[in-house]
Amino acid sequence: MARAVPPRTTRVHPALRPLLRASGVPAPGPFEPSPFQLQALEAFREADVLVEAPTGSGKTWIAEQAIREGLGSGRRCWYTTPLKALSNQKHRRFCGLYGEERVGLLTGERRVRPEAPVVVATTEVLRNTLYDPQQAPDLVVLDEAHYLSDPERGTAWEEVILYAPPTTRLLLLSATLPNAAELADWMAEVRGRRPVVVAERVRPVPLEFLAADAEGRLVPLDRATAQGRRPRDWVAAVMAALEEAGLLPAIFFFPARRLCDEAVQRLGRQAARGEGDRREVWRRWEEEFPHLRGHPFRAPLLRAGVAPHHAGHTTAWRLVVEDLLEKGLLRAVCATTTLAAGLDVPARTVVLTTLVRSSPEGMVYLSATEFHQMTGRAGRRGKDTVGFVVLPALDPDELAQAEALMGSSPEPIRSAFAPTYPLVLNLLRTRPVEAAVAELGRSLAAYQRRRQVEQVRRRLESIPPDPLVDRPCGDRLYTRVRYERLRERPEVHAADLAAWPCRTCPVEGRCVESLEALRRMEQQRSRLRRELLQLEGELQDVFRARARVLQRLGYLDPAYRSTAEGNWAARLRHPRCLVLAELVRRGLLPTDPHRLCGYAAALSTERAPRLGQEAGLDVLARLVEALAEVETQEGLPPEGLVDEFRPQWDRALRRVLPSSADRRAWAAQAWSAGADFSVLCRELDVAEGDLQRILLQAAEICNQLAELPQAEVSRPATQARDRLLRPPVV
């Protein structure tokens, strides 16, 4: 009897089979560092180093070996990350590598062994430390160095480079530093010696790009035909195709949290192998973080090996997901595009479900940097011979954009440096105002603008003067316009016109013919002059405006020297530090720890819960408005904090809600009063991760207040911080 032949697959295009057969797991063997890793490590023993290498190529190995060597020679090392979740992850890893007693953690609200020889921290914490050069560490690792371009946080990265003393050695790591040579030139200027640039272009695990059609089938990119529709079960179909092709585990990137969670619910219906192993790992995490027992995605994670990973989940949940993914126990992770840098574990395959993301302006295409950051998560060194990226073949424009991004380079780093109140206060504590203003000229922003200034000057100089020189007037554009207007007015006497130079001009015909060209030329000259003025003075203008605000409020004296109030206010490094300082100076800060928790949460920068109640913030709201008025009078643009204290209309609920500040404050007050975390999330209609970050930011504010010299402030602030920092927040 003939054996039945299984039907041929329809989920994977036949042309892909040779590629899939050639991929797989590399032969086992000892780890061998790449030449670029050894080069960077050798260079870092003597100098600052910039490393640009693809994601997954082993940049962290360089840092870990450098820290190990530093420990051996008695040096103090700091490792900084842009995200608290990443700091927590690195802290755990380093405790395993170097010993728990030798590793500390500083994230603003948490201080774990701050005097340890190895400290993992957010970059802002290191920046704050460097305001006092005596506290500078010997070695500093700046992970994700491309955050120099981040509009909200790039200033902190830049200040670390500016204020780290020459004796501190810097190691900058990034997958996307296309203008590393320019950064090195700037660092040479501000630090006295040029860092070594180590660039690796070859990925240890090469990438192959595929497409998934409207039916979820895998097809070669050159045979993909966008059909413009996405069936509801598209993600499940792609998942089935990946499983059939042996391309799991996979990271699916989505533009919204809701889409991540919905995809996991659909993918989690089918049981998958490895549940016993997942339960064993889960049990250990559950013992450490008991609140995970009731997590809504516990079942799909254990049963199907799929999980969401985005900012709506707590740090503990994301640590579990990353641990299981790294151990090879997950089949798929559904993550948001905005958290690509926060997912520090690669997979065999990355699936981009779309090439757009949400922004304040609406949906926009991914930038080249974002695209490369996400696709770089494909392919695990030592586990895969090839990494795969699956692009959506659904919309023709989107598919064309994907192909364009594949061949693009990441955007160059552009400085996001801006003078903040903490920067102004700390500079003016140690130097006169003109020296402090001159300090701005050392920034990367000024360095890059210097080149722009030169370009604008050359363009300005290239505009020729008026070629019509044999004329009886000065500014002929102005003269001719006025003359034409006078001619059109019937009440103007002929004698008045006769005295006008245009009546006797020997070149009037040529003047009229070339007047429009002259107008365009002068408009360009005027535009370039305005651009030049803005480039040369913007940083100084903002610095001086903030200094005037601080002077009016008493933190600086008439000569812009720091006063006694300015000295203690300089310890506040939060973005809302001016409001915090004024609460203290005016005696408006609550002494009740419960109310203080609310004030601190109101001033956090996180999104507010959907629901909540008024929290008694009238005094704080009036202060915020008063300070905004002072800033406006000094020429500073509004920062939007006033709007945070205004009631909001909810279209879905069709009613007015308390302000965002009130809803954040109410959440913190309820938590400080002993509310259950999960119950509070449901009552406020807020994601666990969002509530956690509100409370962590509030605790960070309380921590800064607790370090002020005023006992009447530090005592309740300490109590408020301790109320906020209880499980599962920490």
Residues 261 and 371 in one domain: yes
Residues 359 and 211 in one domain: yes
Amino acid at 149: S
Residues 613 and 515 in one domain: no
Quick check: 701 and 600 in contact, CB under 8 A? Answer: yes
Residue 9 pLDDT: 53
Quick check: 327 and 377 in contact, CB under 8 A? Answer: no
Q: DSSP code of 642?
A: G
Q: Please indicate, yes or no, if residue 25 is contained in any of the structural domains.
A: no
Residues 675 and 531 in one domain: no
Number of separate domains in the chain: 4
pTM for this entry? 0.84
| Positions of the chain with pLDDT under 70 | 1-9, 228, 338-343, 360, 492, 533, 536-537
Amino acid at 515: L
Residues 539 and 609 in one domain: no
Residues 545 and 670 in one domain: no
Residue 339 pLDDT: 65
Residues 598 and 531 in one domain: no
Q: Please indicate, yes or no, if residue 495 is contained in any of the structural domains.
A: no
Residues 612 and 513 in one domain: no
Residue 3 pLDDT: 44
Residue 428 pLDDT: 95
**How would you classify the pairing of strands 356-359 and 362-365?**
antiparallel
Boundary-marking domain end, from 374, 406, 438: 406
Residue 5 pLDDT: 39
Residue 630 pLDDT: 95
Q: Please indicate, yes or no, if residue 485 is contained in any of the structural domains.
A: no
Residues 432 and 398 in one domain: no
Which tokens is 205 given? Answer: 């695990």
CATH number, domain containing residue 218: 3.40.50.300
Residues 71 and 186 in one domain: yes
Which tokens is 390 given? Answer: 């699956």
Boundary-marking domain end, from 552, 586, 620: 552
> Among residues 254, 211, 200, which one has the least CA distance to residue 388?
211
Q: Please indicate, yes or no, if residue 640 is contained in any of the structural domains.
A: yes
Residue 2 pLDDT: 43
Residues 261 and 394 in one domain: yes
Task: Report pLDDT digits (tens) over 84-94.
Answer: 878 888 998 99
Alpha-carbon span 217 to 237, nearest angstrom: 7
Residue 191 pLDDT: 95
Residue 654 pLDDT: 84
**How would you classify the pairing of strands 306-309 and 49-52?**
unpaired
- CA-to-CA dists, residue 195 to 148, 169, 183, 563, 627, angstroms: 17, 10, 9, 38, 42
Alpha-carbon span 186 to 301, nearest angstrom: 47
Q: Could you give phi then psi for residue 507, rounded to 5 degrees?
A: -120, 30
The 3-state DSSP class for residue 225 equals coil
Alpha-carbon span 27 to 32, nearest angstrom: 13
Residues 245 and 394 in one domain: yes
Q: Please indicate, yes or no, if residue 2 is contained in any of the structural domains.
A: no
Boundary-marking domain end, from 164, 183, 199: 199
Task: Report pLDDT digits (tens) over 112-148.
Answer: 999 999 999 999 999 988 887 778 899 999 999 999 9
Q: Please indicate, yes or no, if residue 252 is contained in any of the structural domains.
A: yes
CATH number, domain containing residue 667: 1.10.3380.30
Q: Please indicate, yes or no, if residue 358 is contained in any of the structural domains.
A: yes
Domain range for 512 = 421-470+507-552
Q: Please indicate, yes or no, if residue 477 is contained in any of the structural domains.
A: no
